[in-house]
Amino acid sequence: EDKEEDESKEEDNGSQQNRASRRKNQQRKTRDGKKAREEGSQKKNKGKTASTKDQKESENKEKKTTKRGKEGENKQKKDRKSSTSSASSNSSDEESLSEEELAMLKEQVEQKKKLISTMRNKPWRMVKKLSVLREAQDFVEKFEGALGKGKGKKLYAYKMMMAKKWVKFKRDFENFKTQCIPWEMKIKEVESHFGSSVASYFIFLRWMYGVNLVLFGLIFGLVIIPEVLMGMPYGSMPRKTVPRAEQATAMDFSVLWDFEGYIKYSALFYGYYNNQRTIGWLKYRLPMAYFMVGISVFGYSLMVVIRSMARNANESTADGDDDNFIFSWKMFTSWDYLIGNPETADNKFASITTSFKESIVDEQESNKDENIHLRRFLRVLANVLIICCLCGSGYLIYFVVKRSQTFSKMQNVGWYERNEVEIVMSLLGMFCPPLFETIAALENYHPRIGLKWQLGRIFALFLGNLYTFLLALMDDVNEKLAEEDVVKNITHWTLLGHHNSSAGNDSTVTPPPLDPADVPRGPCWETTVGIEFVRLTVSDILVTYITILVGDFIRACFVRFVNYCWCWDLEAGFPSYAEFDISGNVLGLIFNQGMIWMGSFYAPGLVGINVLRLLTSMYFQCWAVMSSNVPHERVFKASKSNNFYMGLLLLILFLSLLPVAYTIMSLPPSFDCGPFSGKKRMYDVIQETIELDFPLFVAKIFSYVANPGLIIPAILLMVLAIYYLNAVSEAYQRANAELKKKMQMQREEEKSKRNNKASTNPMLQDLEDLLTPSTKTESTLKQAEDKKIESPNGTSPVRKPGRGEVLDGSPMAGGRGAAFTPPSRVFVTQPWTLGVRAPYPGQPGPWGHPLGPVPGRGRGQPCY
């Protein structure tokens, strides 16, 4: 900055001309603006356009200055000099300074400050930085006092400090937040060893755990706890008491294990709840709450699934277009420079290798071509085989369920007969997926697509299982309903008889209480269904864990330790270690969740069991994976969004909604158990609430809204809206694709342009500057040129000489001003055309051989 130069020269003429200073100011401003632009351009790295603009501007300036003539320039220079020096020396009589000068000075100081604050961003050597900094600081110190903004400075410093603190706090908070994400480290560890596909399962598991926690909170907070705290205690009424006949064995473990006995008559199941409209001193409307919670479990799940799907879709489109530099990014940005722990470093190496392998697999897969006909045939064959399997397993389940119904009518059947359904289903779940996998090997898909097929097939298997199971259950329920009618009559008559007899004796005396355990009761089909679901879930948990323990851990131990004394290599040969079965695990999870959704209406405690299950399986499976599994042979990258999982989950949520909705809407609830007993349908509870607890007009409104005449148009409207939105999104998609294409084109164009013109940019200059301290001179002289054009001045003749002189080794580079100039001013004038660079012969780029242009200057670094 030439101000310093001026300032250093003590020259004081007090005369100040407003006109001149105004002009100066103007010039200053334009220069500032230019500077800002320059900086922007520096950042954007588009040296070309910016520099042409700058050139234009500087040309303008030149014109102006030439018009004014040498004389005027000198004068102006002098004026400026005077103003600055007066500010420095005559700081005591500040009032004599005009406002404008003050403003100018302020600007100067600001500029210096800016330089100081951006200093750290300059890739200079420390030595240079230090010297430049010292100068700048001196300047600021000198003038800040003059401007009398010491106070402001303090405030400013305080503000800056607070801003810094705030940034730091935010960062810490981010760190804290990531630390709060449960199991993040565990999952990352798994990911680094097994690839993102395995990790995607665990992420999914974690997500599921979160959802279940919310459901658990809903059900426990709004249904179970109020019932336990405020409801009638155990034994007060028939539905809350174990029947007399079962009481002897009600505490036996085998009975409890089947969720009979005391467990059956607890708050975990539907039948325990009373149909009292309000309970406790809070007048808590339990049946209503039960109903609403049952609905909101589904509502919340639907909402969450769809929202996360939408978010995933957003994410996947958001960074979908940036896949131009997959390998480059992996190469240059994958190492985490914060790693200092050898173990983490190991993990990181493993994960980098895995990720490279993933990408390589993708790459290889994308340019593979083979015999299409053979593969097509194989794929069809595989599908046929798999459909056969599916049908077979479906039939098997149906058969078993039917048989179990006959078993259930017989007395004293064995353990196997009682648990036949569960055993068969678990066995199917265990053996079918591997079978599918072997068949899928015929198809030779890319592993990611293969995984999806596999998932779809196993899903179909489970779905078949689930639905046959449900159908059988429905048969069961219908039977129970028929049975219930009979029992109802009996109970009615019993109670009636009881009443009659007591009324006959003495009408004032209350009837002798019939022990609740003795009251004949209906089969309570809801509880039966609930028990069925709970049993299925528990057996599923057990089978999963035992499979992991035996199939993975024991096998791994066996392979590991028996290998020392075996006749062939166990690790490489037949048994080897197990791979982590992603598809099976994911589907197990999804299927299990479907059970929970279906069963939670009839067994509120089921969600609690599921939360426990997910929690333990998180730890257990993480451990099992790390301890006894080996990574897949072809590690592949999971698609970024696990929307496929979510889609399956949504499907099963919908499917599990159906039976529950059906039972709520069209089956009569049991007459003597559950919160809805005594009503014709379960949803009557809403009508009851509306009629009794709300003012009349609400009921009226409700009846209007429920009118089919309103509902059908509403549905129509929704359909139309869906159609419209779909059309819009399609249009957007097309526009998106178009844009992407355009961008690609642009890239190509840019490429070819660059081929023709090796353009430079300011950053290059900085780099060059860094590479050898000697090249500093170059930028300096450019600066000198700059200055010459911008504000030709007579005060520092040393600066005037052009490039040629400096090349000759003019001493000017050592001058104070050289080191002093802020780099942002360096690149103002010339667009670096080839012509300018001509003096450096044989240079591929502007900074090809930094030592070349100015040999002998600087320290002469051998390495460069």
Partner 1 sequence: QDCTFFTRKEILRLHGRYHEMAPNVVPMDYTKDPDVKLPMQLIINMPELKENPFKERIVESFSEDGEGSLSFNDFVDMFSVLSEMAPRELKAIYAFKIYDFNTDNFICKADLEKTLNKLTREELTAEEITLVCEKVIEEADMDGDGKLGYADFENMISKAPDFL
Binding site for partner 1 (CB under 8 A): 43, 45, 116-117, 119-123, 125-127, 129-130, 133, 137, 171, 319, 322, 324-329, 331-335, 337, 339-342, 344-345, 349, 352-353, 356-357, 359-360, 363, 750-751, 754-755, 758-759, 761, 763-764, 766-767, 770-771, 845, 847-848, 850, 859, 861-864
Closest CB to partner 1 among residues 117, 833: 117
Closest CB to partner 1 among residues 581, 766: 766
Q: Write the CA distances from 848 to 79, 577, 771, 852, integer angstroms.
A: 43, 54, 10, 8
Min dist. Cβ of residue 732 to partner 1 (A): 23
Min dist. Cβ of residue 115 to partner 1 (A): 9
What is the three-class DSSP state of 193?
A: helix
Min dist. Cβ of residue 39 to partner 1 (A): 11
* Residue 447: partners with Cβ closer than 8 Å, 6 or more residues away: 197, 361, 632, 634, 636
Contact 358, 192 (CB under 8 A): no
Closest CB to partner 1 among residues 193, 535: 193
Min dist. Cβ of residue 158 to partner 1 (A): 15
Min dist. Cβ of residue 113 to partner 1 (A): 10
Q: What is the dihedral of CA 432, 434, 438, 440, to 10 degrees?
A: 70
Contact 455, 587 (CB under 8 A): yes
Min dist. Cβ of residue 301 to partner 1 (A): 32
Closest CB to partner 1 among residues 367, 412: 367
Query: Among 420, 421, 418, 450, which residue's Cα sits nearest to residue 433?
Result: 450
Phi, psi of 411 (to 5 degrees): -90, 170
Min dist. Cβ of residue 600 to partner 1 (A): 40
Closest CB to partner 1 among residues 329, 561: 329
Closest CB to partner 1 among residues 522, 850: 850
* Residue 676: partners with Cβ closer than 8 Å, 6 or more residues away: 275, 287, 290, 291, 669, 682, 684, 685
Min dist. Cβ of residue 137 to partner 1 (A): 7
The shares of helix, strand and coil residues in the chain, as percent rounded to the nearest 5, are 75, 0, 25
Could you count the other beta carbons within 10 Å of the beta carbon of residue 160? 11
Q: State both tokens at 379.
A: 């794929």
Closest CB to partner 1 among residues 593, 824: 824
Min dist. Cβ of residue 41 to partner 1 (A): 12
Min dist. Cβ of residue 379 to partner 1 (A): 28
**What's the CA gap between 101 and 87, in Å, rounded?**
9
Closest CB to partner 1 among residues 294, 762: 762
Q: What is the largest CA-CA distance in the chain?
A: 133
Question: Which DSSP symbol is given to 554?
Answer: I
* Residue 145: partners with Cβ closer than 8 Å, 6 or more residues away: 91
Helical packing angle, 696-705 and 708-756, nearest 10°: 70
Min dist. Cβ of residue 353 to partner 1 (A): 4
H helices present in 181-270, as ranges: 184-194, 196-219, 225-230, 253-257, 261-264
Min dist. Cβ of residue 166 to partner 1 (A): 13
Min dist. Cβ of residue 159 to partner 1 (A): 16
**What's the CA gap between 436 and 428, in Å, rounded?**
12
Query: Among 3, 38, 203, which residue's Cα sits nearest to residue 110?
Result: 3
Closest CB to partner 1 among residues 160, 718: 160
Q: What are the E-state strand segments in 594-648?
A: 629-630
Contact 560, 622 (CB under 8 A): no
Min dist. Cβ of residue 751 to partner 1 (A): 5
Could you count the other beta carbons within 10 Å of the beta carbon of residue 313? 13
What is the three-class DSSP state of 301?
A: helix
Closest CB to partner 1 among residues 68, 134: 134
**What's the CA gap between 499 and 620, in Å, rounded?**
58
Closest CB to partner 1 among residues 252, 750: 750
Phi, psi of 284 (to 5 degrees): -70, 125
Closest CB to partner 1 among residues 514, 758: 758
**What's the CA gap between 562 and 573, in Å, rounded?**
13
Closest CB to partner 1 among residues 557, 743: 743
Task: Encode 362-410 in three state secondary structure.
Answer: HHHHHCCCCCHHHHHHHHHHHHHHHHHHHHHHHHHHHHHHHHHHHHHHC
Closest CB to partner 1 among residues 639, 791: 639
**What's the CA gap between 332 and 856, in Å, rounded?**
35
* Ordered DSSP codes for 222-239: IIIHHHHHHSPPTTSSGG
Burial of 606 (0-12, 13-18, 19+ CB in 10 A): buried
The dihedral through the CA atoms of 176, 181, 187, 188 has a sign that is negative
Min dist. Cβ of residue 42 to partner 1 (A): 8
Closest CB to partner 1 among residues 394, 853: 853
Q: State both tokens at 710.
A: 């309103």
What is the three-class DSSP state of 174?
A: helix
Min dist. Cβ of residue 757 to partner 1 (A): 9
Closest CB to partner 1 among residues 153, 488: 153
Min dist. Cβ of residue 635 to partner 1 (A): 12
**What's the CA gap between 736 and 317, in Å, rounded?**
10
Closest CB to partner 1 among residues 410, 863: 863
Closest CB to partner 1 among residues 680, 859: 859
Min dist. Cβ of residue 845 to partner 1 (A): 6
